[in-house]
Structure 1
Amino acid sequence: MRIKATIERIPGGMMIIPLLFGAIVNTLFPDIPKTFGSFTGALMTGALPILAVFYVCMGATIDFKATPYILKKGGTLLITKIGTAIVVGFIAGKFLGNGMIESGLFAGLSVLAIVAAMNDTNGGLYMALMGQFGKKEDVGAYSIMSLESGPFLTMVTLGVTGLAAFPWQTLVGAILPLIIGMILGNLDRDLREFLSKAVPVLVPFFAFALGAGLNLGNVWKAGLLGVLLGVAVVVITGLTLFTTDRLTGGNGVAGLAAATTAGNAAGVPAAVAAANAVYAPLVPSATALVASCVIVTAILAPIVTAWWAKSRGIKAS
């Protein structure tokens, strides 16, 4: 059987198929990790450890000489993503204020949901896609983009300043494995070659673990609006990120790969409401919409990224 060849015929297949499989398993059998425990449970709940190993191995492939490129690429994508959310949030705020639409197709839509969905990039998905279709240095760009994580920038975008601290420990923890990998790879070329071989192997395992943390039922709960918002995240942020990526010398792949919603963004509405009670009534609907965006963008962004990479003659590594 030509399983690998069949999967690779699908754009971003090594990411999408395991991710979908994990999401389906978790949706239909959510208790599997507790039931079987041990290695099975660890695989279904172990996205972070797998990512940590992925970051070390990927970091080993990055040359220190590429640091200026990483700062340029990561800074460009970060500013563009946040800037897009600010502009869209500002426009939506003119119509919605601090409330939400109460009826009709767009019932439940709020500026809080829109900004939370657009502000934060799915870093694991971005790095996995860049590991397949981008430059090694493009992967390292997420060390700058990780500043998006958490509710702080969402609060800033909403105009709620000074209500959340940005823990430096979390930022350092997010980039430390990558830095360790870079140090090891630059100290020893043999170690760089050894660790680099694991990068493509880890992609489907990380994708499955990521999918096992998603529940397809969230898409159903959010309804068509959740799907539309997810598509809007890919289209709107994808266009701006793609454009700035191209304008700064990139081929657009990194921009499209960053047009996603991070899994932890689903917790942002509640965090914002904890800091400012005016948003409390919006939390249930905003959380469902953002959770839907996580799933929709995790499926759609790899397809779009892989399609563009293929059109540019870029082969998956």
Structure 2
Amino acid sequence: MNIKDGIDRLPGGMMILPMFLGTLFRTFAPAAPAYFSGFTEGLMTGIIPIIAVWLFCIGASVHFITAATVLRKSGTLVLTKLLTAWAIVFLVSHLIPPEGIKTGLLAGLSVLAIVCAMDMTNGGLYASLMQSFGSSEEAGAFVLLSIESGPLMSMIILGAAGVAHFKLQVFIGAILPFLAGFALGNLDPKLRGLFSPGCKLLIPFFAFALGNTIDLHTLLSPLAALGIALALAVIVVTGIPLILADIVIGKGNGTAGIAASSTAGAAVANPVAIAAVAPQFQSTAEDATALVAICVIVTSLLVPIMTGLWHQQFGRKASPLQRLPRSKAPLGPSKL
């Protein structure tokens, strides 16, 4: 049976399907973890330690030299995404109360949901799109996009926007697994080879545990419409600056900007992870998780379509040399 091939046909399938399975348990058998107890309970509820190991593996997979090279060529996408997310969070923090919106059409929306939806790009989706529509340098931005993974950047943005204040030891504790993996992976290539596969290997496990925090009734509530609206906002609000940055700074045609305007599947875990170290967000974490999950699904479906359309319209422009008449083309060395 080609189970994995079937899962891979769904954008973000290795994250979405295990998470959906966990959601079914939480919705229809909420007592299952306590009933089975033991290792099964740990697998269903141990999202924090699983994410900690996942962050360590991500750190081990990032090669310092490679990251520096890619930064010179296409790191502008990462910086643009983070700065845009910070600007939006800074703005909405003056409009949305810390406990989120409780009534009306926007009930369930919070600063936590917005930052987690906007600050992380789906690196795997981006890399696959740029392999088809971009250059190897643009596709290589996947390395830097991996640095966005986990709650670290969300915490930095929340702190810089004045929404939350994290104690130094809490902040260090959030980034220590990543830094430890980064150090070991760069000190010994064999350790990088050992731990790097964990980046993909652990995704279905923490996705399943994450699903056990989501009640399907929440996803079928008015939050669904709000989540779709938030997903469209992610594409538009982050996509426009990314396109401009790719054209003006990156000297591209904007295709990479569109491809980076998604929400990462791993971002679904951020509300819970942040609430674990910042109790002031616990009241909004559940709704934020549901909203971000919807953003992942919607952006994973729309961004590839929009990237293909953009590339078809603007990405196939001939170079100046190709546009020159053949008789006026510069002579090569052999004709001098």
Shared fold (TM-score greater than 0.5)? yes
Structure-2 separation of matches of 1:296 and 1:208: 16
| Secondary structure at 2:202 match in 1 | helix
Match of 1:140 in 2: 147
Match of 1:28 in 2: 28
Q: 1:122 deviation in Å?
A: 8.4
Match of 1:62 in 2: 62
CA contact (8 A) 2:86 2:157 kept: no
Structure-1 separation of matches of 2:298 and 2:21: 15
Pick aligned residue for 1:240 from 220, 237, 241: 237
- Alpha-carbon spacing, 1:216–1:14, altered in 2? closer, same or farther (3 Å): same
Is residue 38 from structure 1 mapped to residue 38 from structure 2 by the alignment?
A: yes
- Alpha-carbon spacing, 1:41–1:310, altered in 2? closer, same or farther (3 Å): farther
Is residue 300 from structure 1 mapped to residue 298 from structure 2 by the alignment?
A: yes
Is residue 113 from structure 1 mapped to residue 109 from structure 2 by the alignment?
A: yes
Structure-1 separation of matches of 2:147 and 2:76: 11
Match of 2:332 in 1: none
Structure-2 separation of matches of 1:213 and 1:99: 19
Structure-2 separation of matches of 1:153 and 1:194: 35
Counterpart AA for 1:117:
A
CA contact (8 A) 2:44 2:208 kept: yes
Is residue 271 from structure 1 mapped to residue 267 from structure 2 by the alignment?
A: no
Counterpart AA for 1:130:
G
| Secondary structure at 1:256 match in 2 | coil
Q: 1:186 deviation in Å?
A: 0.7
| Secondary structure at 2:233 match in 1 | helix
Structure-1 separation of matches of 2:100 and 2:293: 25
Is residue 181 from structure 1 mapped to residue 181 from structure 2 by the alignment?
A: yes
- Alpha-carbon spacing, 1:267–1:113, altered in 2? closer, same or farther (3 Å): farther
Q: Deviations over 1:267-306 (max 9, x none)?
A: 69x938x9xxxxxxxx8xx788545424422433444456
Structure-2 separation of matches of 1:109 and 1:173: 33
Written as runs of structure 1 = structure 2, the 5 A alignment for 1:214-225 is: 214-220=214-220, 223-224=221-222
Counterpart AA for 1:212:
N
- Alpha-carbon spacing, 1:238–1:300, altered in 2? closer, same or farther (3 Å): same
Cα root mean square deviation, aligned: 4.0
CA contact (8 A) 2:22 2:208 kept: yes
Unpaired segments ≥5 residues, structure 2 = 128-141, 251-255, 312-336
Q: 1:142 deviation in Å?
A: 4.1
Is residue 196 from structure 1 mapped to residue 196 from structure 2 by the alignment?
A: yes
Counterpart AA for 1:178:
F
Match of 1:213 in 2: 213
Which deviates more, 254-263 or 50-59? 254-263
Match of 2:87 in 1: 83
| TM-score normalised by length of structure 2 | 0.67
Match of 1:130 in 2: 123
Structure-2 separation of matches of 1:99 and 1:58: 31
Structure-1 separation of matches of 2:41 and 2:102: 40
Higher Rg: 2
| Secondary structure at 2:106 match in 1 | coil
Unpaired segments ≥5 residues, structure 1 = 158-163, 275-282, 313-317
CA contact (8 A) 1:119 1:148 kept: no
Q: 1:255 deviation in Å?
A: 3.4
Match of 2:318 in 1: none
| TM-score normalised by length of structure 1 | 0.70
Structure-2 separation of matches of 1:206 and 1:307: 28
Q: 1:33 deviation in Å?
A: 1.0
Counterpart AA for 1:138:
L
| Secondary structure at 2:18 match in 1 | helix
Q: 1:165 deviation in Å?
A: 3.0
Q: Deviations over 1:34-57 (max 9, x none)?
A: 111111111111122121111111
Q: 1:13 deviation in Å?
A: 1.1
Structure-2 separation of matches of 1:169 and 1:72: 30
Match of 1:315 in 2: none
Structure-1 separation of matches of 2:308 and 2:169: 39
| Secondary structure at 2:62 match in 1 | coil
- Alpha-carbon spacing, 1:100–1:187, altered in 2? closer, same or farther (3 Å): closer
CA contact (8 A) 1:12 1:303 kept: no
CA contact (8 A) 1:219 1:292 kept: yes
Q: Deviations over 1:214-236 (max 9, x none)?
A: 1112234xx33x22221122111
- Alpha-carbon spacing, 1:27–1:38, altered in 2? closer, same or farther (3 Å): same
Written as runs of structure 1 = structure 2, the 5 A alignment for 1:275-294 is: 290=288, 292-294=290-292
